[in-house]
Amino acid sequence: MITFLPLQEETNVQELIHSTFDVDLPLSGSWGYSQEKATIINVLRDNTPLAQLQYMVTSIRANLEMNITQEQQNRYSGINANEKQRETIKYNDKVYEKVTYEITGIKEDIYNAFIKEYKEGYDDQSLDLDDHFKRRKEATLTREVIHYFDISNIQQP
């Protein structure tokens, strides 16, 4: 079983996301592993819902943890985040959201084999879809993670 290590806290979150994914997000702070090291959302742009921005940041963190920072043989693909729970915390004149996500992924080599099998079998109609998706589900790793967001800078209704 592989252990996913937290990302380095001293990294500039906004710069790393931009250089790795070519996305500019209005963030500062850290990777959100604790309330003290929350990801700070500085502003919401283009009417992007807060939960959508949080989902994006959590998905980026999961891809960095489970794929990009891993040795080739330990990489996961098909990584998805699914929100399970949300809690608002007010502390020392700050507002935080503690969001729990279920993160899923499949080892990259296995995932690629499933994709190849699906494409080839679907085209010639030889694929048993029930069996295919059953095996994919069995090969899926599920993790529960918590991401803390400091939303103090966002106008609250």
pLDDT tens digits, 7-40: 988 778 999 999 999 999 999 999 999 999 999 9
**What single-letter DSSP state applies at residue 73?**
G
Q: What is the mean pLDDT of the chain?
A: 92
- Residues of the chain above pLDDT 70, percent: 97
| 70 pLDDT more than 70 | yes
Q: What is the sign of the dihedral through the CA atoms of 140, 68, 151 and 98?
A: positive
pLDDT of residue 155: 62
**Phi/psi at 150 (5° precision):** -90, 110
Q: What percent of the chain has pLDDT over 90?
A: 77
Alpha carbons 111 and 105: distance in angstroms, whole number: 9
Angle at 146 between CA 56 and CA 91, to 5 degrees: 100
Distance between CA atoms of residues 26 and 40, nearest Å: 8
In the block, residue with structure tokens 């990584």: 79
Tokens of 12: 């500039």
**Neighbouring residues of 54: CB distance < 8 A, sequence distance ≥ 6:** 41, 97, 99, 147, 149
Mean pLDDT value across residues 47-57: 93
Per-residue pLDDT, 1: 60
pLDDT(84) > 80: yes
Compute the radius of gyration of the chain from its Cα atoms: 18
